[in-house]
Amino acid sequence: MNQGFLPICRKDMEDRNISQFDFVYIIGDAYVDHPSFGPAIISRVLESKGYSVGIISQPDWKQEDSIAIYGEPRLAFLISAGNMDSMVNHYFVSKKHRPTDAYTPGGEINKRPDRATAVYGNLIRRTFKNTPVIIGGIEASLRRMAHYDYWSDSFKRSILLDSQADLLLYGMGERSIVEVADALNSGIDVNDITFIKGTVYKTKSVDSFYDEIVLPDYETMKENKRAYAESFRIQYENTDPFTGKVMVEQYPNGIYIVQNPPQEPLTQQEMDDVYELPYMRTYHPMYEEKGGVPAINEIKFSLTSNRGCFGGCNFCALTFHQGRTIQTRSHESIVEEAKLIIQDKDFKGYIHDVGGPTANFRHPSCEKQMKYGVCKNKQCLFPHPCKNMKVDHKDYVALLRKLRNLPGVKKVFVRSGIRFDYLIADQDDTFFRELVQYHISGQLKVAPEHISDAVLMRMGKPENKVYEKFQKKYKQLNEKLGLKQFLVPYLMSSHPGSTLKEAVELAEYLRDLGYMPEQVQDFYPTPSTMSTVMYYTELDPRDMKPVYVCKNPHEKAMQRALIQYRNPKNFELVKEALLKAGREDLIGFDKKCLIRPRNNNYQVEGQKKVTSKSQKGKNGEVKKVSKKITMGKEVKQNNTSKKTIRNVHKKKKK
């Protein structure tokens, strides 16, 4: 039975006759009690195990007492920066401030600090010197070991040290937080909790380790980028719960950061239990006067069906956070949640999404995975699908059919990422056909990211011919079904490995496709991705070979502009890029050209033909005159006045 939102103030605490909370949870987001929000899951899981939790959402980090409204918790403070990394939440890749924050009431900005996890941790430590502090969430998870920080362009320590926390939980954390809570509740000192999977701790003693991997120490990595690339490769190879080992990273003054292996995946029953907890499924009503929390709009009528991703894209942090092993909910659990959605007064008949990191993954990539773990040095889909990979969409098809047949449901959309290379590898067209027929509306968004095989190789994505095969099949299915639906490809500029040459190739591809994307994602070097390590070290950790990296902001702007070369605002950047790339052949009036010349002898983009000749001015000087043909009328332009041009026309008439 739902008992309402968790306490968010002292009055709520008193109304529940709670004298001291077991845990006080500091959150960088507004308080949204929905299973798409990590803090909601963690707090509800703890509540289900009998622990009391008080929420402090978006405390004023400039006020010392903002985290002390409940006093000291019995067991620990918990900290999460929120559903997003606070730095990604605050800044575009250009490092300019974002104008809104979807996780704050009314989209208001500046309600959480930069590097929120570390700021909150230090704020607590100034007031509560000895109370255990436990950090988690995406921000902490991806900064658990030494890492490159794009925003400061520096090499940073583990966030466990910078936040002054005692323990870090990485990954999704449901099982870990309960084990930690039980350990603390039994009287074990937080400094002695060194045995729980999915945790990172600090120590000055290394005597108890067995079969550990000693990574390069922090000072060495700070001075030697190659050492960091090697360390990251080792970490990447130990993200599997079945084969991962304890890893140790040394810091000055005899401090060691120790990462235990990941937690094992949740069983389907455990996943069902997590998503069937009594969430209120929306933001706290105290936010109504500011218009609510914008982020709820994307997920309120969506369903999570899976976790994890064996796609292994190098620019994605999922391998480090959720892992490569797929975890799923049962059909029954998802259908029951759909029935709750249908009862919502704002539901209009449309389920917005059924998926997860990758919508069409509903089982582990192969049977061996659950016994032996994922392969350390091989990917399931890259560079080609593994022969052991199980390609089967039957379970997902059956789930979608059940959902769209529910009373009150008009349409079920699939908006999570569709892994098109996995889809095209399926010999059975049933899912592809039903996806096109029932589960998109006008357009399908997919992520080829680039078309240059050289860049795709650095991205960990399949060759472009795979996307072309998918594109062709998509068109055929639409024609067969009598539909006119489009593909919207997500593209990325300036990824490591992309020079101006590859950027021009992508522009030419878009020209031939007759498509100019409205949005382009410039590569964003976020912590703990393979691509970010490439960006920082200019080495590919997989083979330690040098990689070209576009770091100059002006060149990044040129690569981005090439993807949107038809936009008149990008003309000068595109022109400069083509000249630098030695592709003057793409400036002109041939149908293969990207832009048309401007200035003096040249006309603006969109004209049909230009010729030039010399003409003597009044004083005998030679002037260039351009003749343009626009809408069938011949007009001469030069540096003379409009009156002179009119005289030229009069002479022609005579």
* Band of pLDDT at residue 184, cut at 50, 70 and 90: very high
Q: Within a domain: residue 555?
A: no
How many domains would you assign to the chain?
3
For residue 117, the domain's CATH number is 3.40.50.2300
Classify burial at 420, counting beta carbons within 10 Å of its beta carbon; exposed 0-12, middle 13-18, buried 19 or more. Answer: buried
> What is the 3 state secondary structure string of 13-44?
HHHCCCCCCCEEEEECCCCEECCCCHHHHHHH
116 φ, ψ (degrees, to nearest 5) = -55, -40
CA atoms within 13 A on the CB side of 228: 28
Instruction: Give SS3 for 372.
Output: helix
The answer to whether 281 and 327 have CB atoms below 8 angstroms apart is no
Instruction: Clarify whether residues 306 and 195 are in a common domain.
Output: no
**pLDDT of res. 625:** 39
How far is Cα 3 from Cα 407, in angstroms, rounded to an integer?
28
Q: For position 36, what pLDDT does the model report? A: 96
Position 321, amino acid:
H
Q: Which of 141, 173, 199 is at the close of a domain?
A: 199
Cα–Cα distances in Å, from 447 out to 201, 307, 358, 451, 462?
37, 19, 11, 11, 11
Query: Which of the pair, 370 or 453, is modelled with greater confidence?
Result: 453
Report whether 192 contacts 201 (CB < 8 A).
Answer: no
Burial of 20 (0-12, 13-18, 19+ CB in 10 A): middle
- What are the DSSP calls for 610-642, one per residue? EEEEEEE-TTS-EEEEEEEEETTEEEEE-SS-H
Nearest of 193, 143, 198, 139 to residue 171 by alpha carbon: 198
CB 123 within 8 A of CB 86: no
Average pLDDT for 513-526? 89
CATH code, 313: 3.30.750.210
- Cis, bond preceding 383 (omega within 30 deg of 0): yes
Q: Which of 417, 432, 455 is the last residue of a domain?
A: 417
The DSSP 8-state label assigned to residue 380 in this structure reads S
Q: Which of 435, 460, 436, 434 is CA-nearest to residue 449?
A: 460
Note the pLDDT of residue 376.
87
Lowest mean pLDDT among 311-315, 329-333, 446-450, 629-633: 629-633
* Strand ranges in 462-564 using DSSP code E only, listed in sequence order: 486-493, 521-522, 539-540, 545-546
Q: Is residue 112 part of a domain?
A: yes
| Mean pLDDT score, 354-363 | 94
Question: Which residue type does 212 have?
Answer: E
The average pLDDT across 395-412 equals 98
Domain residue limits at 359: 301-417
Which residues face 76 on adjacent strands? 23
Give the residue with greater pLDDT, 416 vs 586. Answer: 586
What does the pLDDT read at residue 368? Answer: 86
Residue 614 has pLDDT above 80, yes or no: no
pLDDT score of 617 more than 70: no
Q: Could you give the CA distance from residue 550 to residue 494 in angstroms, rounded to a whole number?
A: 6
565 found inside a domain: no
Other Cβ atoms less than 10 A from the Cβ of 481: the count is 12
Tell whether 183 and 314 lie within a shared domain: no
Query: Rounded CA gap, 471 and 72, in Å?
Result: 58
Residue linked to tokens 């929390």: 293
pLDDT at 628 exceeding the cut of 90: no
Domain membership of residue 174 (yes or no) is: yes
Decide if 62 is inside a domain.
yes
Contact 285, 276 (CB under 8 A): no
- The Cα–Cα gap between 494 and 576 comes to 16
Report pLDDT for 599. 67
Residues 168 and 310 in one domain: no
Does residue 53 sit in the same domain as residue 179? yes
Place of tokens 């008080």: 54
Max intra-chain CA distance, the chain: 106
pLDDT in tens, 531-557: 999 999 999 999 999 999 999 999 999
Out of 409-413, 445-449, 605-609, the most confident range is 409-413
Contact 462, 381 (CB under 8 A): yes
Q: What is the chain's mean pLDDT, rounded?
A: 91
Residue 409 lies in a domain: yes
* 82 located within any domain: yes
Confidence band for 642, pLDDT divided at 50, 70 and 90: very low
Q: What is the DSSP letter of 489?
A: E
Q: For residue 439, which of 524, 353, 516 has the smallest C-alpha distance?
A: 353
One-character DSSP codes across 313-342:
-TT--HHHHT-SS-EE--HHHHHHHHHHHH
Contact 185, 218 (CB under 8 A): no
pLDDT at 370: 79
Closest CA to 28 of 96, 78, 97, 71: 78
Share of the chain above pLDDT 90, in %: 85
Last residue of a domain, one of 176, 199, 222: 199
3-state secondary structure 193-251: CCCCCCEEEEECCCCCCCCCEECCCHHHHHHCHHHHHHHHHHHHCCCCCCCCCCEEEEE
User: Within 13 Å and on the Cβ side, how many CA atoms surround 586?
Assistant: 23
pLDDT at 369: 84
Q: What is the Cα–Cα distance from 276 to 76, expressed in whole angstroms?
A: 26
Q: What share of the chain is helix, strand, coil (3-state, %, to 5)?
A: 35, 15, 50
Q: Residues in the chain, how many?
A: 654
DSSP, collapsed to helix, strand or coil, labels residue 351 as strand
Residue 495 forms part of a structural domain: no
